[in-house]
Chain A
Amino acid sequence: MIEVQHLTKQYGPFTAVQDVSFKAERGEILGFLGPNGAGKTTTMRVITGYMPPTDGKALVAGYDVMEQPIEAKRRTGYLPETPPLYPDMTVRDYLMFCARIKGVPRTDRATRVKTTMERTRIADVATRQCAKLSKGYRQRVGLAQALLHNPEVLILDEPTAGLDPKQIIETRRLIKELGGEHTVILSTHILPEVSQTCQRVVIINKGRVVAVDTPENLTSRLQGSGSIYVEVDSMGADAQTVLASVAGVTGVTVSEKHGSATGYEVAMVADHDVRRELASTVVGRGWGLLELRPMRMSLEEIFLSLTTEETESTEAVQ
């Protein structure tokens, strides 16, 4: 549905995006994750046809956004970082205008505007001036504008920025609903948002794609050989050496101490689950087994490790 091929964008001597490629399938919600200034907005602006790429191309529903811009734009709904509202128009007038320039047929306009306002929960401010809306309403009017012409593709640039927690939950629920019938690209720098709403994640840093995968795969992939957390009350005995002697264990480090109990981080050989052996060893010795769990890296840690790694390697090149 959306295909970005070797996209590069330069602003003068500054390269904002370099050789970015990814795809989003029909009905998929793709998270676009990266720190501020990573090139998320630039990439989205190219996909929506707002600006041309320096190199490479973007396809929406099979249409090249540079070669057939009208066809591509007809199928794209876009919520920019700041909702593009006309301050002196009322919400309804604004949406009627948007419907008109987005090619909604005259006879459908009024009903389409009405249903979209209900869907985005802005019907109560229909007659209010855009200039007088709160940040949360502005964001939702912007979202309504993107949905009006029922586009196949939705590009949302930080749709939950500036909303209160309740509105964030509502907006995320709405975006989840939209996936399935629409293809959604959602940019954000809020990590839980990605794991909650997106099926796949593109992580971008300093203009380059550093990872593309599902949130689950990213988690397991980056775990490497994986490790296990064991908390043992060994009653003074040297549990560390005992645990290290279990078959498949490659290393044991002390991570926490709670009174007489000690928490160990046990590294192990890949694809070798040592949890059973660990448990029976501890219990066999007559020690207290207080906790035993696989340690997962959170998306935050993955994100940090990916983006900092990237930083180090690019600095090394320079």
Chain B
Amino acid sequence: MNNILAITHKELKSYFASPIAYVVIGLYALVYGYYFYAAVRFFERQSIQMAGLGAGTPAVNINEQLIRPVFQYSMVVFLIVLPMITMRTYSEEKRSGTMELLLTSPITDFQIIMGKFLGAMGLYASMLGVTLLHMVLLFWVSQPEWMPILTSYLGLLLLGGCFMAVGLLISSLTKNQIVAVVATFAVFMMFWMVNWIAQFMSPTSQALLNYLSITGHLEDFMGGVIDTKHVVYYLSFIAFGLFLTARSVDVERWRG
């Protein structure tokens, strides 16, 4: 565990020593903040309208009509910023020769991978942390339900974990950071689009594709439900990605 944390610590330090952490967090904060502002203005107008219609109309729900769409739409930024988090994890170590240091130190490949994964998750979590500020504001002026918010964060962390696992794998395959970032983006995009494509398919393949969709599994979390089906999907996705990363590092060793 100490070895894993040593790597995590190093990873986080190098994120914040380079511009990557600031670009990632800054970009997300900008887009999320902009969208949040627009959504709040819209929600405000809607509330006033509803109130004007008087009794009998359904009450507005801040969780369903504000927080959920803001989370969902701002997730598009993930496609661009998450590949930046993982692009250099392995590529950079391979290019600068520090891979030799890690692989000849008394630590296992698994510890290196977990350390890097947790480091990337740490940066991702601090990126999500920006949104807590907006949440505090909402709790200040209104009374949202906090359970769906909590499950949304859990879902977002799991979703991010999948992206980090894919990103680590792709980074371990190349020395070139640009290749890593573009390839990771393409793979993310595919998992993202899978349920758009599903609608053109036969019912069987539609069900299959919908199950593969990385964002589809987030719906229940956003609605405040933790379904083990989705948790299992995300966790096995992450485990498989990390397993393939371990294989890829091992293959590199044999090949020399």
**Chain A interface residues (CB < 8 Å from chain B):** 9, 11, 16, 42, 45, 48-52, 69-71, 73-74, 76, 78, 80, 82-89, 93, 97-98, 100-103, 145
Contacts and interface: CB of A to CB of B under 8 A. Distances in A.
Contacts of A76: 104
Contacts of A49: 103-104
Q: Would you call the interface of chain B mostly helix, strand, loop, or mixed? A: helix
Interface of B: 2-3, 6-7, 9-10, 13-14, 17-18, 96-108, 253-256
A9 B2 CA distance: 34
A101 B105 contact: yes
A9 B253 CA distance: 12
User: Looking at B9, B104, B254, which has the most chain A CB atoms within 10 Å of its CB?
Assistant: B104
A46 to B, nearest CB: 10
A293 B10 CA distance: 62
Tell which of A70, A85, A86 has the most Cβ of chain B within 10 Å. A86
A56 to B, nearest CB: 15
A69 B107 CA distance: 9
17 contacts: A50-B100, A50-B253, A51-B254, A52-B254, A69-B106, A70-B106, A70-B108, A73-B105, A78-B104, A84-B98, A86-B14, A86-B98, A88-B14, A98-B101, A100-B6, A101-B7, A103-B106
Contacts of A48: 104
Contacts of A103: 106
A11 B255 contact: yes
Nearest to A93: B13
A71 B13 CA distance: 29
A87 B96 contact: yes
Nearest to B3: A101
State the 9 A-B residue pairs at the shortest beta-carbon distance, nearest first: A84-B101, A73-B106, A74-B106, A88-B17, A48-B104, A100-B6, A84-B98, A101-B105, A80-B100
A101 B256 contact: no
Nearest to A12: B255
Contacts of A98: 101, 105
A38 to B, nearest CB: 16
A86 B100 contact: no
Nearest to A131: B96
Contacts of B2: 100
A11 B256 contact: yes
Contacts of A51: 253-254, 256
Nearest to A129: B17
B19 to A, nearest CB: 11
Contact of B14 (A78, A89, A102): A89
Nearest to B7: A101
A38 B12 CA distance: 40
A255 to B, nearest CB: 48
B105 A86 contact: no
Given A84-B101, A102-B106, A89 B13 contact: yes
Nearest to A151: B106
Given A50-B103, A74-B106, A103-B106, A84 B253 contact: no
Nearest to A16: B256
